Structure 1
């Protein structure tokens, strides 16, 4: 089979899969953009730091205007640490820290027409560069265990806006149980199927 024939067969196969998926209400796409993160807590300043995020979305319509959207994503949260604790406590240096998360939001989606959708649901977050920052006692500064947060968003055609909130308990700094990260995301989504 020549390269041209193979390409033709692959195009026909992809077209068939696309038609079948759309008839079943299933869609796949790519998304990416920028985010602005802030961290609030005793050891953090709420400075809005720019980061990037990207991934895929999988969407299934179980009713004409209702569905579930899953978005496996990588994102960076840049937070500013400042010392606000005793010298005796385990500590990390001041300054901006870049945390890279793999997140999987599971969002309930309501279509408000052909152009706009509302999304909301839980999000599971796992820190991927947990070994990058350590406290002065040798422990990891940030927790790598899966954390639960929430997402609220709007899809408008190819554009999307999302707020990720409630990511708390992410740090191993002393007395840091109420610290939390919030993130605003803005980007472009491109439906493949």
Structure 2
């Protein structure tokens, strides 16, 4: 059974309003609407004293493309994202610390990009990234409190589309509640394949 709390419901509602708003906005714009699918892998690393080496994960999702003109689009990329980070043993003995090991964090992330098309196959993108942790109850600190934040976070993302290939860099802050790591952030590099359906 899927457990949906109020924070997750608010995030999903915000994403729906954003998409509906962009559909309404498109009538005053260029009028082109597109949809695509994407899949790929990622490498993630969290900053801060509690974290260590890079770890690999994956993401899959879709593209909603709203054409502004022949050179610019707004692109929304709702995705399921498995982010894996390595926790070292620096905080393992502290009450607000976390034991050593790799943690798999499952996110729903929704970046909203301004996309500039230089050619039909080459574009650059930049924008905000809303992300929400889906398995916030999976990992606990030594004192029994949740180790990672469940509240919707806003980060930023940059990207390149090159034909069927895409590259993304994402960063989002305050992802955890581990002692001395309130300002820690996750850096993620994504590489994958995309296909536009219409």
Using the size of structure 1 for normalisation, the TM-score is 0.84
Count of residue pairs brought into register by the alignment: 169
1:157 aligns with 2:163: yes
Larger strand proportion of the pair: 1
Which residue is equivalent to 1:183? 188
Structure 1, unpaired ranges of 5+ = 1-22
Q: 1:25 aligns with which of 9, 32, 42?
A: 32
Offset at residue 175 of structure 1 (A): 1.6
Aligned 8 A contact 2:91 2:99 in 1: no
Q: 2:109 aligns with which of 72, 85, 103?
A: 103
- Paired with 1:187 and 1:138, the residues of 2 have a C-alpha distance of 37
Q: How does 1:69-148 map to 2 (within 5 A)?
A: 69-85=75-91, 87-148=93-154
- Offset from partner CA, 1:130-179 (integer Å, 9 cap, x none): 111011221111010011111100001111001012x1111111121221
Offset at residue 84 of structure 1 (A): 2.1
Aligned 8 A contact 2:125 2:159 in 1: yes
Which residue is equivalent to 2:74? 68
Offset at residue 88 of structure 1 (A): 4.2
- Paired with 1:85 and 1:118, the residues of 2 have a C-alpha distance of 40
Offset at residue 49 of structure 1 (A): 1.0
- Paired with 1:56 and 1:122, the residues of 2 have a C-alpha distance of 16
Cα RMSD of the aligned pairs, angstroms, is: 1.4
Structure 2, unpaired ranges of 5+ = 1-29
- Paired with 2:67 and 2:124, the residues of 1 have a C-alpha distance of 14
- Offset from partner CA, 1:24-83 (integer Å, 9 cap, x none): 3110010011011111101111x1211110001100111111110000001111111113
- Paired with 1:136 and 1:94, the residues of 2 have a C-alpha distance of 11
Which residue is equivalent to 2:60? 54
Using the size of structure 2 for normalisation, the TM-score is 0.82
